[in-house]
């Protein structure tokens, strides 16, 4: 099956700092999504971004499908950004079965 690798595994930030999270995937995809799992365990949809660039407030994401990676940018981080960020992709031949990366755990300190 498709492999999804996220880096770094852990990230500690001071409030106000910027950061970049990376997701590499091993095959062509129809779907790439970024999620934030908050400290209460809820999965929050951040971006649906199989290609191109999107922005939503302080968050933005870019996917370069031809090179099989995606980046999630967090700017001016806040303590509420803490949690685990997951990248998930489908397989080209199985376009409903999302495979998740192991996640990046982000801790933002006041």
Which residue, 11 or 103, is less far from another protein as judged by CB?
103
CB of 16 to another protein, least distance (A): 29
CB of 54 to another protein, least distance (A): 12
Smallest gap from residue 86 Cβ to another protein (A): 7
Find, among 54, 55, 51, the residue nearest to 63 by Cα.
51
* CA Rg value for the chain: 13
HSE on the CB side for 74, CA within 13 Å? 28
Q: Name beta bridge partners: 45.
A: 35
What 8-state DSSP symbol labels residue 15?
Answer: T
Nearer to another protein, 33 or 63 (CB): 33
- Is the distance from CB of 81 to CB of 73 less than 8 angstroms? no
Query: Which is nearer to another protein, 11 or 49 (by Cβ)?
Result: 49
Between 11 and 98, CB nearer to another protein: 98
Interface positions with another protein (CB under 8 A): 30-31, 33, 35, 41-43, 45, 48, 50, 86, 88, 90, 94-103
């Amino acid at each position: 099956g498709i492999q999804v690798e996220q880096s770094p595994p852990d990230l500690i930030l001071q409030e106000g700092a910027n950061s970049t999270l990376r997701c590499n995937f091993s095959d062509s995809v129809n779907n790439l999504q970024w999620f934030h799992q908050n400290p209460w365990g809820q999965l929050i949809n951040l971006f649906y971004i199989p290609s191109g660039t999107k922005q939503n407030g302080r968050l933005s994401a870019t996917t370069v499908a031809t090179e099989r990676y995606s980046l999630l940018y967090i700017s001016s981080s806040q303590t509420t950004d803490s949690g685990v960020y997951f990248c998930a992709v489908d397989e080209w031949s199985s376009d409903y079965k999302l495979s998740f990366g192991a996640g990046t755990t982000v801790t933002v300190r006041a």
